[in-house]
Amino acid sequence: MEEPPPEQPPAGEEEDAEDAAAAGPEWNIPPNAPACMERHLEGAHYRADGALLLGASGLNGRCWAGSLWVFADPRRAPSEGFCTAGVQTEAGVADLCWVADRGILVASDSGAVELWELDEKETLIVNKFCKYEHDDIVMAVAVLAGSTQVVSGGRDFCVKVWDLPQQTVLHSYRAHSDAVTCVASCPGKDTMFLSCAEDNRTLLWDTRCPKPATRIVCSACNHLPTSVMWHPHKSDIFALGDENGTVALVDTKNPDSALSSTVHARNITGFAFSAHSSPLLASISEDCSVAVLDSDLSEVFRSRSHQDFVKGLSWSPSDNALLTTVGWDHQVLHHTVPILTAEASGVNCVKE
């Protein structure tokens, strides 16, 4: 007896399937990824290949839950069904960053420093370690040059330097007398980093020294420092932001000569330097705005599209004019920043 021929879909259904395929990837949540992303987006970081890492926290429930997400196509973020990988965390995510190509370093509201890693096919995010060395919320983490050591700062006033392969704390310092709000690594120098805290102090660290912390006093910023970031090309220069919205470019050898400007109306929450030969400096704030400044701290771009605190930012590695920001309004916004002709052609515009 002959088998009946396989059923063919009606012509209309076949056309619908073809249209769906042409429209792009389907909604498909990967294994172990949460069904829903928390509202408050805390950080965004591009990887060298353009994949976007997001950290999210739920801050208005009985428990502060969190999650990590990776999007191969950043323009699909924050739609859960289009992520490459995702995972639930036990507490809110205060800060996060990439470690090399597959590692994800997390500062947790639980007081833990966590290391996660993408599996080989990048569809799963697997926990490598979770260490409770801080006695309060971990506010900030940064990867030191070389990617084998990281630094963390917390609300327990402590700054800690970690050895990732050994999963241990190498140094624990209590040089601050209030909550540490930000830490920043120095490009190309694996023993140097910056920290700032609610004790109104900004510290320059060098772990090779018997007394590793040196206070940087900048008269241009008269309020509590909230964010720091090192200049990518000049190891003596860093960006400093305070709770009043002031941005300063500080020379560690001569802090009183700092160039400063009141860019925001409220607390500055983060910085990112662009990859141009004369880098642009992007800043974000609790005034819900995004600003981009040139080397003279003159404004070249401003966006007020966010409806809540802006908490994370990152420049695209594939497009020097594309800046991505995230915030507590659950928006992932992609801004096209106007670039000077000289910059676009790669001419060195650094002022000597």
Q: What is the pLDDT of residues 291-326, one digit of tens each?
A: 999 999 999 999 999 999 999 999 999 999 999 999
Which range is least confidently modeled, 68-77, 220-229, 323-332, 336-345? 336-345
pLDDT, mean of residues 200-207: 96
pLDDT(343) > 80? no
Total-model pTM: 0.88
Which range is least confidently modeled, 23-32, 145-154, 263-272? 23-32
Give me the count of residues in the chain: 352
pLDDT, mean of residues 133-149: 96
Residue pair 313/307 in contact by the 8 Å Cβ criterion: no
User: For residue 63, what pLDDT is reported?
Assistant: 75
Alpha carbon distance 201, 122 (integer Å): 40
**What's the whole-number average pLDDT of the chain?**
89
Alpha carbon distance 111, 179 (integer Å): 13
Alpha carbon distance 280, 339 (integer Å): 9
pLDDT, mean of residues 9-15: 47
SS percent in the chain: helix, strand, coil, step 5: 5, 45, 45
Torsion of CA 180, 271, 224, 201, to 10 degrees: 50
pLDDT(173) > 70? yes
User: For residue 31, what pLDDT is reported?
Assistant: 78
Cβ atoms within 10 Å of 290's Cβ, excluding its own:
26
Alpha carbon distance 300, 40 (integer Å): 28
